[in-house]
Amino acid sequence: MSKPVVLIAEELSPATVEALGPDFEIRYTDGADRSALLPAIADVDAILVRSATKVDEEAISAASNLKVIARAGVGLDNVDVKAATQAGVMVVNAPTSNITSAAELAVGLLLATARNIAPANEALKGGEWKRSKYSGVELYEKTVGIVGLGRIGALVAQRLSGFGAELIAYDPYVSTARAAQMGVRSVSLDELLAKSDFITVHLPKTPETAGLIGEQALAKVKPNVRIINAARGGIVDEHALAVALKEGRVAGAGIDVFASEPCTESPLFDFESVVVTPHLGASTEEAQERAGISVAKSVRLALAGELVPDAVNVKGGAIAEDVRPGIPLAEKLGRIFTGLAGGVAAQLDVEVRGEIAAHDVKVLELAALKGVFTNVVDDPVSYVNAPVIAADRGVEVRLVAHEESSDYRNVITVRGVMSDGHTVSVSGTLSGPKHVEKIVEVLGYDIEAFPAEHMAFFRYNDRPGIVGVVGRILGEAEINIAGMQVSRDTRGGHALMAMTVDQALPGPVIDNIIEAIGAEWGRNVDLVD
């Protein structure tokens, strides 16, 4: 078989190629050159870009085999995520690759504005010694307002804690207790604006945050305030900031990002008290290498059909650490469900009960769907296309989460109503500190079995001698039983036999067992690809 093709459209570190490994054919093109990009992308499986390559609807349409768009960085302004999602193409980025670099730059800009480093440097290089003109201010015992206390904001707070400043923050999505753990006092935006000597912005750009530090906000600040934006252009209104600087309502600013980039002209450039840099937040050797390695790993996972935590168009967002161990279990339960059902359900519920239900467990639904359809369709099933496959097949999918669980700390159930109205279900849990996977329910019967590569299930009328008959048939077929459990609804009622075996049961063997024990049905379930 030919290797999957990965197109590298911009200069990336050698470590990126090394992280991809030998399993791919690597090609190169100049992604900024449209005439080179469109033919180059036509037959590739994945493309790796930075910021200069526009992977828009036209480029995605030209790529008939494209499965992954990988942006070696944080922003996705140059990728049409909506068009990619509609085409079933996964988009991944490296959301944590530059957080240290961005935090350090923000601190650097803050210090530069406090001490007038940039104009003093320029004056001295021009032959002028102006000590008195460029006298600055200390951070010690000043108030620093952090707008946005996410990963970068938290790193900035950590780094500023050593300066002896009072740290306050505005972030409606971070609890007061969590802020206090960082040594930061949580306040309203109005209080932050009124009390801060320095304001540093660390928010994503959304319709809600665009222009947040604008005319109205700047009317509430101290006249000696210095404002830093190393997050996203447009969160700080550049025109409003320039007016405030001109009118003496703001003392200075450090700006790394602009509403329109590249930016070579701005009213902010007229002020000595403004330090500007050309979007250097991620521009360190370390950040670039981390970004390349991160997306290379994501490409490997995506092309293998595995979960990619950094995929931006997979519903569910960030995956909590408590949820992660349940992902492979949910996928196995999905595969067992399909094996038991023998068909596609009209309605499918993925039910999550217990402590993990307090988190976002959408990824468990995706994992279960991937398992359900892995052996149903010919095309590889991923966390991106599994919901599309379900919709195409008219399967109504619901995610049900409850924090109450009567029997287990956490339990995941895949339950489906088939077209004839009968219900098929399978449940599993994780046991102990090593998260040992266990199947604890099948078709309403309580069992305790370990998922295995080869499993078999039989439903029959409970009576003596059944286990011996099944053992004899499998012995004659030279198939070893690794484990067996029998559960029944009532004595002499219906029983379910669950077996793990060393190899898949051939069809004739299953038919032989069904006939010999008078089973209502028997199912072979394989968890191997």
**Catalytic site positions:** 232, 261, 279
Q: What separation in angstroms does the CA of 74 have from each of 92, 211, 389?
A: 9, 21, 29
Beta bridge partners of 425: 415
Mapped onto helix, strand or coil, the DSSP state of residue 270 is helix
Pairing of strands 423-431, 436-442: antiparallel
What is the number of other CB atoms lying within 10 angstroms of the CB of residue 20?
A: 23
| DSSP code string of 257-300 | --SSSS----GGGG-TTEEE-SS-TT-SHHHHHHHHHHHHHHHH
Mapped onto helix, strand or coil, the DSSP state of residue 220 is coil
Quote the CA–CA distance of 446 and 487 in Å, as a whole number.
6
Which pair of structure tokens corresponds to residue 519?
A: 């089973």
Q: State yes or no: cis peptide before 4, omega within 30 of 0.
A: no
Pairing of strands 454-461, 494-501: antiparallel
- Cα angle 32, 36, 39 (rounded to 5 degrees) comes to 130
CB-based burial label for 463 (10 Å; 0-12, 13-18, 19+): exposed
CA nearest neighbour of 96 among 298, 360, 283, 291: 291
* Phi and psi angles of residue 37, each rounded to the nearest 5 degrees, phi first: -65, -50
What is the number of other CB atoms lying within 10 angstroms of the CB of residue 434?
A: 8
Quote the CA–CA distance of 492 and 166 in Å, as a whole number.
74
Mapped onto helix, strand or coil, the DSSP state of residue 355 is helix
Beta-carbon-side half-sphere exposure of residue 201 (alpha carbons within 13 Å) = 29
Pairing of strands 46-49, 5-8: parallel
Mapped onto helix, strand or coil, the DSSP state of residue 113 is helix
226 in Cβ contact with 201 (< 8 Å): no
DSSP tally for the chain: helices H, then strands E? 17, 22
* Amino acid (one-letter) located at 426: V
Torsion of CA 151, 153, 156, 157, to 10 degrees: -110
Q: What separation in angstroms does the CA of 110 have from each of 201, 303, 304, 373?
A: 11, 43, 44, 53
Element of type H or E holding 401: strand 396-402
